[in-house]
A = this chain, B = another copy of it.
C-alpha cells in the first residue's frame, strides 16, 4: 500500500477503523486518500466533511429516515430538516451563481443522507427558485430573499393528470383581462389538474404554474409560466379558488409531498407572468423577442435541462452508495470454500466480482462524465442569462441538450439495474430494509421518468445526430461541435470501413480498442437509423409515424451508444492526462478499461452483425479482458469504496460499516428495533375462536 498523505490534506480524512475489511485494505495498490483528493479536490472534500459533520451532530438527523415512518411523520421530519438546512444558509444566492458545483455537492450530500431531503431542498431552491430567476425579470427579484429565508415555499407545476410527456398539450388556461390587468387562471376539468408536483401536496405556498396564455380576442400564445400563491404561509390553508391536495404514497421519496392543484378562475396580477421570453402589455398585447412558439416554450423550460443534469449526478450517487454497501458486504461475508478449508469471502468468487466490479467502474466513469456535463451546462446557462446569442452558443445549446437527453436515461437505467444487482448480491441481507438498498432503488426509480421519460428523451439525442448527418450530406463546412463530442463523425465513411484489429486480450486493454469500436458502432447505428427513417418515409408514412417506427433497434440504440462513447472517451481522457499522480494511474486506467469494455460488450451482437467483429476471437477476447480486469481490481475494491462511501452515519447500512463488522452491526440494529422480542399487541387473536364459515362446501 502506498504511504498515506502528509500534511494538512490528511486532516480531511477520517482514520478508518480496524476490523475485518483490513485484509483487503492492506492489499490495495494505491492510497485511497490520494485518489479522493485527486478526484474531488480539497475544497469539495472540505465542504462534504462540513455538511456531513453538521448532520451527524444534530439530533434532528439522528431520528429515523426513509420508509419506516408514517407518511405524516416522515413529511414533518423532512420539512423540519429542510428548514434546518435553509436556516443555516448552507446554500446562498452567491453560491448558486458563483459556484454551482458546490450547490450540487450540497444536494448530493443531503441525498446520501436521504433523497427526500435533497429533493425537497432542490425543488424549492433550484427548481422553483431558479425558474423565477431564470424565466422572470427584475420585477420578480423580490421573491428571491423570501425563498432563501423560507418566508415562502415553492413548487414547479407543469404536468397535468393527462399530460406528462406531451406538456405542450396542457389545458390549464390563463386569460388576460385588461379591465383589471389580471390573468384568470383556470383548470377546465379534473384531467387538467396539475399533478405530481413535488412540494405541492402539503407545504408549498407558491407555485410556478404553466398555463396556455390567451390574450383578448382568443389568441393563444402557448404555455407560459406564472408565479401563483396557492397557500397562506401563516396557516398553510389554500388560497380562495385553489383546490390543492396530496396525491398520496409513492414507491419512494415519501418525505416529499407530491400534490395536485385545480384553479377555479383564480385572478393573478399581470406581473405574475414570468416574462423573460414573452410579455403582455397592460392593454393586452402579447410581445416577444422569440417569434417561434416551440422555441419560446423550449426556452421557458430550459431549467429542466439543468434538472436533468442534476438527476444524472444524483443517480450516480445512488450507485456509489449501493456498490459501497454490496462490496463491503461481499468482502466480509464468507460462504463456501475449498473442501476442508475455511469459508472464503464471496468477493473472491469470479461471479461476484463480475456482478459488482463493472458497476464500481461505472461509478468512477460516470461520476467524472456527469461533473463535466454539469459544468458545461452551467457555462451554457450563464451564457443564456447574459447576452450571448453567438452561433457557438446556439450550437453549444444543441449539443448539450443532446447529451443530457441521453445522459439521464443512460445513468438512471444503469443505476436502477446496478442497485438491483447490489441488492441481489447481498442475498437476504440486501432485502432487509435497514440495509438501505430498497430505499436506494425506490428513490432512484423516478429518475427514469421525471424531467422527461427516458424513452421519449432519447429521441432528442438521435434527432440531433441524424440532423448532423443530414447537414454533412449537404457538404460544406467541417463537422465540429463546441464540446467536440461529434467531431469523429467527420470521418464517418472511413470509420464504417474499419474493422477490429486486436489480436490478443492485451490488445483489448489498449484504450484505443473500445473507443474505435464504439465510434464504428455509433456510425453503424447512425447509418441504419437514417436508412430506416428513409424506408419508412418512402413507404408512405408521415413524419410522425416514420419517427415512431424507427425507434426500436435504431434511433433508441443510437442515442444510448453515442452517450456511452462520450462517457467512455471523457473518462479515458481524464485518467490518461499527465496530471494523474503516478501511483493512481494503474487503478484508474483499469477502471476506465473495465467500464469501456463492459459497456461495449452489450453491443457485441451489432459488432458482429455489421462485420466489425469476425470469427470467435473478438468476443472471447473482450470477455477475457473483462474477467481479467475484475480479478485485478478485486483487491482494490475496498479502497475504492473508501474513496466514494460517505461516513457510516450517512451511509446508514449496518452491513456496510467501515469496520466491516457485518454481523455485530446487523444484530445491534435488529435488536434496537422497537418491540423486537415482544409478542404482538394483538396476541389474543391467535387463539380467539371466530365464526367458522363453510366456504369449502361451495368449492
Listed in ascending order, the chain A residues whose CB lies under 8 Å from chain B are 47, 50, 54, 67-68, 70, 72, 75-76, 79-80, 83-84, 87-90, 92, 153, 159, 161-166, 169, 190-191, 195-196, 202-203, 231, 233-238, 243-252, 260, 333-339, 343, 349-351, 354-355, 416, 420, 423-424, 427-428, 430-434, 437-438, 441-442, 445-446, 448-450, 453-455, 542-545, 548-549, 551-553, 556, 604-606, 608-611, 613, 615-616, 619-620, 623, 627, 663, 666-667, 669-671, 673, 675-677, 679-683, 685-687, 690-696, 698-699
Contacts and interface: CB of A to CB of B under 8 A. Distances in A.
Given A247-B670, A428-B159, A670-B260, A233 B50 contact: no
Contacts of A608: 604-605, 608-609, 613
A416 B427 contact: no
Contacts of A89: 694-696
A247 to B, nearest CB: 6
Given A190-B663, A335-B166, A696-B90, A250 B677 contact: no
A351 to B, nearest CB: 5
15 contacts: A50-B699, A79-B682, A87-B692, A92-B696, A159-B428, A169-B343, A231-B679, A248-B432, A350-B551, A431-B449, A552-B627, A604-B605, A608-B608, A608-B609, A609-B613
B699 A556 contact: no
B442 A438 contact: yes
A110 to B, nearest CB: 13
Contacts of A693: 87-88
Most B C-beta atoms less than 10 A away, residue of A92, A675, A676: A676
B434 A249 contact: yes
B454 A424 contact: yes
Given A90-B695, A677-B245, A693-B88, A552 B351 contact: yes
B679 A236 contact: yes
Nearest to A164: B427
Contacts of A68: 249
A686 B233 contact: yes
Contact of A663 (B54, B161, B235): B161
B162 A663 contact: yes
Contacts of A698: 50
B237 A80 contact: no
Nearest to A195: B428
Contacts of A423: 251, 445
Given A72-B681, A166-B343, A549 B350 contact: yes
Question: Which 7 residue pairs spanning A and B have beta carbons closest together?
Answer: A608-B608, A251-B438, A604-B605, A249-B433, A88-B695, A89-B696, A236-B683
Given A249-B67, A351-B455, A609-B604, A687 B233 contact: yes
A260 to B, nearest CB: 7
A24 to B, nearest CB: 18
A453 B349 CA distance: 14
Contacts of A164: 335, 427-428
B609 A246 contact: no
A218 B337 CA distance: 24
Nearest to A429: B164
A671 B195 CA distance: 13
Given A162-B663, A445-B423, A680 B552 contact: no
B431 A445 contact: yes
A683 B403 CA distance: 42
A680 B236 contact: yes
B433 A449 contact: no
A294 to B, nearest CB: 12
A687 B427 contact: no
A405 to B, nearest CB: 15
Contacts of A432: 247-251
Contacts of A337: 544
B552 A679 contact: no
A92 B697 CA distance: 11
Contact of A237 (B245, B442, B609, B679): B679
Contacts of A627: 552-553
B236 A548 contact: no
Contact of A433 (B248, B548, B666): B248
A524 to B, nearest CB: 10
B680 A76 contact: yes
